[in-house]
Structure 1
Amino acid sequence: MTDRPYDSAPGDDVVDVLTRQHRQFLDLVDEIQAAGRPEVRRDLADVLTAELMRHAVAEEMHVYPAVRDHLPDGEAAVEHDTREHQELEEQLKALEGLDAADAQFLEVVGRLEATLRDHVRDEEGEQFPLLRARVPRERMLEMAEQVRRAEQLAPTRPHPAAPHSELFHKLVGPGVGFVDRLRDRLAHRDV
């Protein structure tokens, strides 16, 4: 998607950036469900997939380490969030293989929406307020910039068999992201 209306503004901390992206994802789900034409559903699903994959990888690289370090039960929270990322990735992979005209397409979108809403509720309702309370503002601003940079190189397609680890994303992720963006261009997928 070349026009990203949900991009962050100067002075946004990592919570601002991620919360704005959550709104984008939920709006895209609504648009997919409301779209009457299968080709529009497919295009919107491709945008959702690319943006959600970028977001998840950036979170795993730069936000989850802070959650682990600064939140009570941070390790358990990260494990829970990582499981939800895995579910989302599996659901996105299922969407990728379905014809958007198939009734099953919207069923998978519905399951994806439920997982996404639960994930957003956990992060925005519990984790983000604690991060803001426990992590210095300067570090929150640094994480926002790290997230923005990571999203530039992150994969745009689901790879559910890949590990959900900071090290994997830093070492292998940019190469996977490059291949995904090349595949996107060859498929004329404007994400």
Structure 2
Amino acid sequence: MADPFALFDTWFAQARAAEVNDPEAMALATADAYGLPSVRMVLLKGHGPGGFTFYTNEQSAKGQQLSANPQAALLFHWKSLRRQVRAEGAVERVSDVEADAYFASRGRESQLGAWASDQSRPLDNRETFERRFAEMQAHFEGGDVPRPPHWGGFRLVPERIEFWSDRPHRLHERRLFTSSGDGWSEGLLYP
């Protein structure tokens, strides 16, 4: 039976060995309730048969878009390997337990930054953000930094996963896995 997650594990391990910077970087494409698209880079923080997980401020543009339209697409581009992986599907929130565990694993400065930032909202100047960061340092001094209530994780549950490999003369290989209820079907696409 076709298993795109086993293939992803192999490719991701190879990317971790070959990519100089951020092999876990992926483009996340979302659309708002009106269909207006937006794309940005985020970091993969977990993956497996359940999907691909990332974390963000849920009040950010992407958080609001995912709330209004819980469908998304991801793209990994590993230039040094001349490979891409695309995934498309529904998006769900991760559990509070999962979000708490990941937040606790982040560096303290990143935790404080999650409290200090009104992600995606206008900022009058850099000093305002730095002042808010210093205020959060003072507020949480000597204690743990809990996960902000507006910060959490999302999991893209793929319906389609495509593995693209560069070939000479633009005769690329495209393997498409499609969810079929009880498993995955695999086929090829013309380049």
> Normalising to structure 1: TM-score of the pair?
0.27
The structure where strand makes up a greater share of residues is 2
> Normalising to structure 2: TM-score of the pair?
0.27
Larger Rg: 2
RCO higher in 1 or 2 (8 Å CA, sep ≥ 6)? 1
The structure where helix makes up a greater share of residues is 1
